[in-house]
Chain A
Amino acid sequence: MIPFESYRQFEHLLIEHLNIMYATALRLTGFKEGAEDLVQESSLKAFRKFGQLRDVNKAKGWFLQILLNTFRDRYRKKKRKAEVVYVELTEELVAFASIKAYDQEKIFNYLVEGEVQGALSKLPSEFRSVVILCDLQDCSYQEIADILQCPLGTVASRLFRGRELLREYLEGYVKNRGLLELNDFE
């Protein structure tokens, strides 16, 4: 039994955070139907677990944590082994982020939503979650660490690696469309 006042409070919090849940789910799954299913399932889970929310000021992180856990559980079977990669922010990785010999800003502007979403969807889910939370939902490192229940350093390294991979995938789209010559990447 949930006290009536608690139910009303949950309803208010859910409506307040439904948009961010949906936006995150849309970028995680890559399609509307999947996002709607994910948000629906996560909302019901949140309702059942509402008693566990200690601080309503942290409701955003709490809702996103349930959403990401639900997503991870749902797509666990589909997850490839190669995705389970925990990359620390090493010197090699920072060095890898070398400057490309083209004007990235100009070229990437030709990309459309489907291509960017395609590149994002290709990211391993650990990296994808961090990139979505940081670059699309403007969550702080600390918020992401709380949501994913991992150290700040891990958040930083996943974000870095995720962005690097994303750039590679976007370059792949650019190349396929003939916007760049093959030797520009070398």
Chain B
Amino acid sequence: MNCLTARKIILNREANDINVDISVAQLHVNNCPDCQLFLSQLENLKHILKTRLMNQPAPAILREKILALITAERLCNPVVSKRTYFKRRILVGAGTAAVISILLLMIYQNPFQRKIEYANPAVRALAQDHIASKLRGNSLDLQTSDTAELEHWFSLRVDFAVRIPTLNNLSLLGGRLCVINGERVVSLAFQKQSVSISLFIVDGDVIDLSRMRVVDARNRQGIYHGDAKGCNVILWQEKGLIFSLVSEDMNEHELIELVAKS
């Protein structure tokens, strides 16, 4: 081994980028006065550096100054305990989630959005049946104002319990059985002065109310509104049944008023 290689190995032993046994290099150095002098000068240089440039401790005033600066930084950027820190993080997260939920709800319930109930086929079917019945001259299956008689008659024809609600200031003309969306439906004809109003009683699964607009709340049940074929249709749910009032001459508020007073 020559001096050059030995010095490279010795100098780079920590870098470990030469795959040579260091003992061979050390053996060369032990027998080579030139390499010994070279390494001794290197050690001497390090010694000079160490002794002339001795490490000085940081002045106490510097330490205090830095700690004061960090404290000031803390005051600008309040520091809290880990528990409080995570509590706050959770609260902030929950608050953000709540705000996002409210915003989403508002977007979903946007009163200015296009009335999606137009697309509800059940509303169209109810309005169609009301109009058709009127054109046929109120062709009722049973002409009577006796609610008990009508309830009994319907109980033999539909698979749900029929309880006819009392609608103030309306005259009950009679009832008939109709079919909407393939399901049997109770249809009752009312009249207020010369205005005709139909009340439909439908099993709860026949009409999907979830995408209809809520217009009023009554006894924790929503009242939904839709319109089709020039008629106003309001719907509400009771005991698993859907009730619907349909009229072309009364607006939604008047219809709701009738329900509220019943």
Contact = CB atoms under 8 A, between A and B. Distances in A.
Interface of A: 1-7, 10-11, 14-15, 18-23, 26-27, 36, 39-40, 43-44, 47-48, 89, 91, 94-95, 97, 99-100, 104-105, 108-109, 111-113, 115-117, 120, 131, 135-137, 140-142, 152-153, 155-156, 160, 163, 166-167, 170
B1 interface: no
Contact of B15 (A1, A5, A155): A155
B62 A36 contact: yes
A18 B4 contact: no
B44 A104 contact: yes
A39 B62 contact: yes
B70 A11 contact: yes
A136 B49 contact: yes
B53 A117 contact: yes
Contacts of A109: 48
Contact of B79 (A1, A18, A105, A115): A1
A135 B15 contact: no
7 contacts: A1-B78, A3-B79, A19-B58, A20-B55, A40-B62, A97-B7, A152-B14
The dominant DSSP class at the A interface is helix
B7 A156 contact: no
A139 B57 CA distance: 18
Interface string B67-80: 10110011001111
Nearest to A7: B79
B41 interface: yes
Interface stretch (B32-40, B132-140, B188-196, B254-262): B32-40
A94 B8 contact: yes
B181 interface: no
Contact of B49 (A105, A116, A155): A116
Nearest to B42: A163
B218 interface: no
B50 interface: yes
Contacts of A47: 70, 73
B85 interface: yes
A44 B49 contact: no
A94 to B, nearest CB: 5
Contacts of B11: 89, 94, 156, 160
B114 interface: no
Chain A CB count within 10 A is highest, among B59, B62, B69, for B62
B17 interface: yes
B97 interface: no
B82 A11 contact: no
Given A39-B66, A94-B8, A108 B80 contact: no
A26 B59 CA distance: 12
Contact of A94 (B4, B50, B55): B4
B220 interface: no
Contact of B66 (A23, A27, A40, A135): A40
A43 B66 contact: yes
A96 to B, nearest CB: 11
Contacts of B79: 1-4, 7
A5 B85 CA distance: 11
B239 interface: no
Interface in B22-66: 34, 37-38, 40-42, 44-46, 48-50, 52-53, 55-59, 62-63, 65-66
A135 B7 CA distance: 18
A152 B7 contact: no
A163 B48 CA distance: 12
B101 interface: no
Given A7-B74, A113-B52, A153 B15 contact: yes
A166 B52 CA distance: 14
Nearest to B52: A116
